[in-house]
Structure 1
Amino acid sequence: MSRWVVPTGRSVRISLSAGLDAVGFHTVGSREDRALLGLPEADHVCFVLVDGLGYHNLDSRSGHARTLRAWESLEPMTTVAPSTTAAAITALGTGRQPGETAMTSYALRSPATGKNFSLIKWEGSGLDPLMWQTCPTLFEELLAEQAESCVLIQPREFIASGLTQCALRGARAIPANTTNDRIDAAASALRRGAKAAYLYWGELDHTGHSKGWMSEDWVEDLEELDAAMAELASRVPRGTLIILTADHGMIDVTRRFDVAEEPQLACEVELVSGEERAAHLYTDHATAVAERWQEFFGADALIYTKAEIATNGLMGPLADRTKETMGDVLVFMGGTDAVIDSRQRRPNQSFMVGVHGSLTEQEMRVPLLIEVA
């Protein structure tokens, strides 16, 4: 039986706010955020977001991360619900919960097309990300001269992506794809006067999806990250606070259930969206569907109707846009199980090995490491 974890106040949602506050860039509640996380004041800050590096994933492979093992490890944080990139990065970029930003999944049904679309890429959605996610980002809350002193270090293809527009608009973006380019861009920007750098690191998540987080390839990527962080710490200005955290953890799937092959699951469900570990079900019969799915999975899944999500606060307050766009039933899978609908998959489409999105300890707990250069 899974140990379920719900988001707490000590969350990745407040981590960027706290980091900016460390260099005197104050936003609403940022002083309290920094005090809660225990971050020191600093001359500069470099915020490293490692996609997919959960606390337990790192802890299990810490022997391959000599640099990170030597950094100060503060009390781990929780990520948001669902434990997925679009929700978590928008939460840390705005300081708001997914219920407020309407970024409640990797994929949702588009009100414009009636089909699934990705809240990371937004391709074919028929939607404007800026009209969807209207909460101001932390960078937009800063004074103009402060925002000009903040940089985003990202792969080139992420610079103008829908997710970046939703989560991180307002800071100056610097494209950098290779390991060396990323470290050079962050260190150079800070040495040239930037006060804050946000550095995204995506290899571990990519490899986890394709090969599994327990694979040798994942370990090699962790070792590369570790070496890069040693290089980063040696090159940023003296007195720079480096913060390293993640948007979610990851599990390797061992069993999948196909909605198309299970009449009890398919009954009265119009569309399956979301992701394998955190499905959004669209239906006009939410209570009946939720009951059938709970009967099918028993204690191996947590299942809520939209009305229950609005009441239990799992995603925070639900904005009108959120209520209009999220699924009518949400399914959080336990153990190492996943649920898919093969009717929505391309022929011969491969499955991901490592996935996330649910509320288990391994997916929800993320590290908080700091180093003062």
Structure 2
Amino acid sequence: MSITEILRARHDGPGLLDLLGRIEASLNPDAAAHAGALAGIDPALGPDTHVVLWLIDGFAEDYRRHTPLMQADHHATLETVFPSTTATAITSILTGRHPAHHGLLGWNTRLAEPARTLTVLMAEERGADDQPARLDHRELAARVQPDRIIDRLGCPSTFIGPKWIGHAPYNRMMSEGAGFVGFDGISDLPARVAAHVRAHPGPHFTYVYWSELDHLGHEYGPGSPEVERHLKQLDLAYTATCAQLAGEDAVLLTTADHGMRPVERRLDLREAPAVQDCLRHRLTGEPRAALAHVREGREARFEAAVAQAFGDDIALLPREAWMASDTPAPTLGPGPEHPELHARAGDYLLLPAADAYLVDPPADDEGPFFRGVHGGLSAEERRIPLFLRSLANSR
């Protein structure tokens, strides 16, 4: 199957946004939520339920073989959004909106107004001088203008995460008005979650976040002993959380933002000056799904330079080939579209070969070095598990 065929294919199973739609519809029956099909989940949800959504960053579908205790609660395999990456997927989770709607298209997103490149999770932007400037949570919110799901639920909400994340601008932007509970490490998580749920009967929405698995996958690779050891820790933490919450009128939904695949080759755009000479600014998007904004009139030169520098290692798709809205499954999801969507998407999508990733770092940064990556279109990057435990029935 060609890349264009993959882009246009309809995924037969449920997607990440179907899960968020079911949560929103259960906690606020009057909401005009996208409540797509997700078989068997509705009996566990209800208007008076405390819904706990545990997001384990980078929990790939293949990781289930290392978590036998969690595997007993496996409910479905979901497909995450594209780009299959944290900045895009978590924003979709916390807004309940597709990337086409919220407009964040990867680790870096080019904003048309102001003309800057935003690294949203770092709350950092770079202008024409390519120098980084930090944003506080209010400035970040002014850039993103998130349509937050917690504002539509009609019930209290709480964010639970590592203590260091509590004051991060992105977290503050998304959680302002909700409570925040910090914890020290994975062994501390079950008791914190259980104490919170017991103290706050439903209806209530609690979002729990854990990031270490993603870091290990990037640094050591998804098949590494380091990842496998951490998965065993997560398996025990999940079981402990369920045990401490047994009998509560709550449901624990555990999923991920994206998967992970191994890579062997790092493609560096700094080694292709003819390509760089055609760009208005550095690539945005993701190392596995880069977006190029090309200088006017240099499209043919850009295509030739990419072919000369990278050959078959880079698949180059013009914007109209991958963003067509009349396909059965638009790549960035259905609208309504963000008003800057097409400007942010640039002129071309660059998709590296299966074993490679592409970097274009600024002068003050050598860029990432990965053994595991995500962001692209492969099943390893897009397929994620959903675990479901109805705690009222688990005493």
1:215-239 per-residue CA deviation (whole Å, 9 max, x = no partner) reads: 1001011011000000010011524
- Distance between the aligned counterparts of 2:214 and 2:233, measured in 1? 14
- The one-letter amino acid of 2:92's match is A
1:108 aligns with 2:115: no
- Distance between the aligned counterparts of 1:213 and 1:307, measured in 2? 33
- Distance between the aligned counterparts of 1:229 and 1:52, measured in 2? 16
- The one-letter amino acid of 1:246's match is A
1:250-300 per-residue CA deviation (whole Å, 9 max, x = no partner) reads: 112211222222355334123223331111222224743663377455665
* Residue ranges of structure 2 left out of the alignment (5+ in a row): 125-131
Contact 2:74 2:385 survives alignment (8 Å)? no
Contact 2:25 2:31 survives alignment (8 Å)? no
Contact 1:49 1:201 survives alignment (8 Å)? yes
- The one-letter amino acid of 1:231's match is A
Choose 122-131 or 330-339, whichever is displaced more. 122-131
1:203 aligns with 2:216: no
- Distance between the aligned counterparts of 1:134 and 1:241, measured in 2? 30
Q: 1:190 to 1:17 in 2, by over 3 A?
A: farther
Q: Which residue is equivalent to 1:232?
A: 241
Contact 1:79 1:364 survives alignment (8 Å)? yes
How many angstroms does 1:116 deviate by? 4.5
Q: Which residue is equivalent to 1:365?
A: 383
- Distance between the aligned counterparts of 1:289 and 1:204, measured in 2? 41
Q: 1:12 to 1:177 in 2, by over 3 A?
A: farther
How many angstroms does 1:308 deviate by? 4.2
1:199-227 per-residue CA deviation (whole Å, 9 max, x = no partner) reads: 11211101111111111001011011000
Contact 1:102 1:132 survives alignment (8 Å)? no
Task: Specify the SS of the correspondent of 2:145.
Answer: coil
Q: Which residue is equivalent to 2:332?
A: 315
- Distance between the aligned counterparts of 1:190 and 1:162, measured in 2? 25
- Distance between the aligned counterparts of 2:356 and 2:146, measured in 1? 34
Q: Which residue is equivalent to 2:127?
A: none
Report matched runs for 1:144-293 at 5 Å: 146=155, 148=156, 150-165=157-172, 167-195=174-202, 196-238=205-247, 239-263=249-273, 265-270=275-280, 271-285=282-296, 287-288=299-300, 291-292=303-304
- Distance between the aligned counterparts of 1:345 and 1:7, measured in 2? 41
1:38-71 per-residue CA deviation (whole Å, 9 max, x = no partner) reads: 3123433221111001213x14xx1x31211211
Task: Specify the SS of the correspondent of 1:367.
Answer: strand
Report matched runs for 1:61-100 at 5 Å: 62=65, 64-74=66-76, 76-100=77-101
- Distance between the aligned counterparts of 2:69 and 2:305, measured in 1? 45
Contact 2:18 2:34 survives alignment (8 Å)? no
- Distance between the aligned counterparts of 1:311 and 1:7, measured in 2? 14
1:326-364 per-residue CA deviation (whole Å, 9 max, x = no partner) reads: 4332222231211123664635x6612211111111101
- Distance between the aligned counterparts of 1:169 and 1:290, measured in 2? 43
Q: 1:341 to 1:12 in 2, by over 3 A?
A: same
Q: Which residue is equivalent to 2:128?
A: none
How many angstroms does 1:106 deviate by? 0.7
How many angstroms does 1:32 deviate by? 2.9
Task: Specify the SS of the correspondent of 2:14.
Answer: coil
- Distance between the aligned counterparts of 1:299 and 1:27, measured in 2? 50
1:16 aligns with 2:20: yes
Q: 1:274 to 1:288 in 2, by over 3 A?
A: same
Task: Specify the SS of the correspondent of 1:28.
Answer: coil
| Alignment partner of 2:31 out of 8, 20, 28 | 28
* Residue ranges of structure 1 left out of the alignment (5+ in a row): none
Q: Which residue is equivalent to 2:142?
A: 131
Q: Structure 1-normalised TM-score?
A: 0.85
Q: 1:46 to 1:342 in 2, by over 3 A?
A: closer
The Cα RMSD (Å) is 3.0
Contact 1:278 1:357 survives alignment (8 Å)? yes
- The one-letter amino acid of 1:304's match is L
Q: 1:193 to 1:232 in 2, by over 3 A?
A: same
Task: Specify the SS of the correspondent of 1:68.
Answer: helix
- The one-letter amino acid of 1:209's match is H
- The one-letter amino acid of 2:161's match is Q
How many angstroms does 1:160 deviate by? 3.8
Q: Which residue is equivalent to 1:119?
A: 120
Q: Structure 2-normalised TM-score?
A: 0.80
- Distance between the aligned counterparts of 2:39 and 2:88, measured in 1? 20
Task: Specify the SS of the correspondent of 1:36.
Answer: coil
- Distance between the aligned counterparts of 2:34 and 2:339, measured in 1? 29
- Distance between the aligned counterparts of 1:85 and 1:50, measured in 2? 11
- The one-letter amino acid of 1:327's match is G
Q: 1:85 to 1:155 in 2, by over 3 A?
A: same
Task: Specify the SS of the correspondent of 2:105.
Answer: coil
Choose 284-293 or 244-253, whichever is displaced more. 284-293
How many residues were matched structurally?
Answer: 361
Contact 1:260 1:343 survives alignment (8 Å)? no
Choose 289-298 or 155-164, whichever is displaced more. 289-298
Task: Specify the SS of the correspondent of 1:279.
Answer: strand
Give percent identity, aligned residues only: 25
